[in-house]
Amino acid sequence: MNNTLLELKNISYKYKNNLILNKVNLKINSGEKIALLGKSGSGKTTLISVLNGTIKPTQGEVKLFNKSYEELDRKQKRKITTIWQDLRLIEDLSAEQNVNCGLLAENNFYFTFKNLLNISSFKKAHKYMQLCGLHNSIYEKKIRKLSGGQKQRVAIARSLIQGSNILLADEPFNNLDPKLITTIKNLLLENVDKKNSKKSPKTALVALHRLDLLNDFDKVIGIREGKIFFNIKRNNLKKLHLDKIY
């Protein structure tokens, strides 16, 4: 049975005459946890942006659930969630309002209105914020008043509240202290957290810099100058591979 969720066929992306992605081929199957390694500027963020449909490639074909991005309905698009490297939170809204933004897709316009007026229920948002180690004293604070680590966790909570099956994350452990990294990693990669009745995304592609975090991943992809240098099982990863990309 074909269980490919995301597929890139011969993808190239050019920006101002610079080739950011160069003939990338990639398949992500259901349930896979993939770590994406590469130096800064190697094309990791662009690859994630192509996968979530934010960037249209200059050349090649992107298939999500065996369909092109334009063919997907809203329900299918909702199955993908992204944690951006630059977080992309709405600075003027409070932390809880930002987390509630993750629920916009499954709710109607009235919910949006209530969220902006601060009269919607924040119960679910608070639950996810708590899971991410956020203290209730910051729930009502505006994003611009939070520290880097707090913002990072708000972005993660917003992503998790969406309840998507596929997670695309661009360096989600930035700004976090070591203890929190383990908690957040478990939240993002463990399938089911029975204690908190929270479902983690089943499939994940996570861009990373730290090699000590690779343990929970099934596969590792190495990217350099927009080209995939290796796409192997984690157990097969050798120093030789890393030398190619760093």
Partner 1 sequence: MNKLKLNYISLSFLPILVCIPLGYQLINNIHLGGFKLFQEFLISAFNPKIDNEIIITIINRLNETILIGFFSWLVSIIFGAIFGIISSNIFYKIFNIPNFFYRIIRFFLTIIRSIHEVVWGILLMQIYGINFSIGIIAICIPYIAVNSKVFAEQLEIIDYKSFESINQINAPKFSSLLTLIWNPIINTFKNFGLYRLECSIRSTVILGLFGIGGIGTSIFLSFQTLNFRELWTYLWSLAILIILSGLIFKKIKFNTTNKILSIFFIAVFFITILFSFSYFLYFIFNNNFENFNSVSSLFKSSSDLGLFDFLKLILETIILSLLSTGIAISLPPLVIGIFNNNSSKFFIKIFAFLLRLIPTPVILLTLLTFNNPSLSLAALTLGLHNAGITSKLLFTNLDRQDKRNYIAMKSLGISKKTSWLLGLFSQQAKSYLAYCAYRSDIIIRETAIVGVIGSVGLGWQLQESLSSFAWQEVTIVLIAYSSIAIVGELINGKIKNSLT
- Residue 169 and residue 205: Cα distance in Å, rounded? 6
- Residue 48 or 208 with smaller CB distance to partner 1: 48
Question: Is the Cβ–Cβ distance between 58 and 214 less than 8 Å?
Answer: no
Least Å distance, CB 211 to partner 1, is 28
Give min distance, CB of 203 to partner 1, in A: 17
Using rule CB under 8 A, residue 139 touches partner 1: no
Among 6, 47, 89, 169, binds partner 1 (CB under 8 A): 89
Q: Kindly identify the residues of this chain, within the stretch 21-80, that bind partner 1 according to CB under 8 A.
A: 52-54, 74, 77-78, 80
Residue 109 or 243 with smaller CB distance to partner 1: 109
**3-state DSSP call for residue 209?**
coil
Which ranges in the chain belong to alpha helices (H)? 44-51, 74-77, 95-100, 109-116, 123-131, 148-161, 178-189, 239-245
Quick note: the x/- pattern for partner 1 over 3-22, rule CB under 8 A, is: --------------------
CB of 105 to partner 1, least distance (A): 5
Beta bridge partners of 206: 35, 169
d(CA 57, CA 60): 7
- Contact flag: residue 137 with partner 1 (CB under 8 A): no
Among 61, 71, 91, 193, binds partner 1 (CB under 8 A): 91
Give, as ranges, the residues between 101 and 120 that touch partner 1 (CB under 8 A).
101-102, 104-105, 107-109, 111-113, 115-119
φ/ψ region of 138 (left if φ > 0, alpha if ψ in -120 to 50, else beta) reads alpha
Write the interaction track for partner 1 spanning residues 225-244; mark x where CB under 8 A is met and - where it is not. Answer: --------------------
Cα-based distances in Å from 6 to 55, 67, 93, 181:
15, 9, 33, 27
Phi, psi of 163 (to 5 degrees): 60, 35
Interface ranges with partner 1 (CB under 8 A): 52-54, 74, 77-78, 80-82, 84, 86, 88-93, 101-102, 104-105, 107-109, 111-113, 115-119, 140, 162
